[in-house]
Structure 1
């Protein structure tokens, strides 16, 4: 949705709540929400045509966090950022991150099926390969595909068949 449409919606919603603002103020507020200094800056950056969005985050289906987290955090070196459960005994939804990569792991049945794929750019795939294979209790022994289409790629499969492709872009 473009920024002008967001400004019209904002103005309409505020009017419905009894707060009247000008269209130009609504544009300025939308620009600030998008991290721009003002409307002119957002418009010059293309914000008039589309609103900036963050990076996409893959959601990978796992059956048990008790199995998935030791793999992602212990073996791969991701950090557990947070976990969420609506109530005791309900499925868990968690976020793990590593460098600039963020992945959501979900036990929820409706959040897909195992065998998903996430492509993760890395600065040094050989160093990652060395680090993973240096672990004594490693659950797998991944190799590097030097001729992969996205650059040298280390492919790792988690306990639920989800594939993580760590690629060093050339």
Structure 2
């Protein structure tokens, strides 16, 4: 994985150079090349060229919710997501939550024009049986989803949030 920005790459190269033992000296250019080779590129020029190419990060599906406190409780306490950020223009206006668990990010929005109730999100998941146990404990036994072991793409556990959105946790085969 390459650093997000060219400045981050330069900072990593500087940190590498500064962490070398006494008597081992590299120029900044040499440390940039060493970092580049470590990341799988021939040299700094090849790595730097990557920052000029269009690039996309992972998408963040936005799900419509109607009660941010209920959404927070369900997604954090039951499903085990972490709140990355919360945005509200001012008190009394709709809230937008950014959540994540592992590599999966979700947006939960009270804003009228964001998302559509009843949306479906497919989430690749490892150790689905263990995650099912976590969800059941988090819901104090009130939510006991099954796992469809014959679902296309691999065993799948489907959970509906309190707002009608469907999250399909799938263990790809």
On whether the aligned pair clears a TM of 0.5, the verdict is: yes
Q: 1:85 is matched with which residue? A: 88
Q: 1:59 is matched with which residue? A: 62
Alignment gaps of 5+ in structure 1? 1-30
TM-score normalised per structure 2: 0.70
Deviant stretches of 4+, over 4 Å? 33-39
Q: 2:160 is matched with which residue? A: 157
Q: 2:171 is matched with which residue? A: 168
1:77 Cα deviation after fit:
0.9
CA contact (8 A) 2:148 2:157 kept: yes
**Correspondence 1:84-123 to 2 at 5 A:** 84-123=87-126
Q: 2:134 is matched with which residue? A: 131
Question: What CA distance in whole angstroms lies between the structure 1 residues aligned with 2:120 and 2:139?
Answer: 26
Alignment gaps of 5+ in structure 2? 10-35, 37-42
Question: What CA distance in whole angstroms lies between the structure 2 residues aligned with 1:135 and 1:111?
Answer: 28
Q: How many aligned residue pairs are there?
A: 137
Flag the 1:140–1:84 CA change in 2: closer, same or farther, 3 A. Answer: same
1:41 Cα deviation after fit:
3.6
Question: What CA distance in whole angstroms lies between the structure 2 residues aligned with 1:168 and 1:104?
Answer: 22
TM-score normalised per structure 1: 0.71
Q: 2:6 is matched with which residue? A: 32
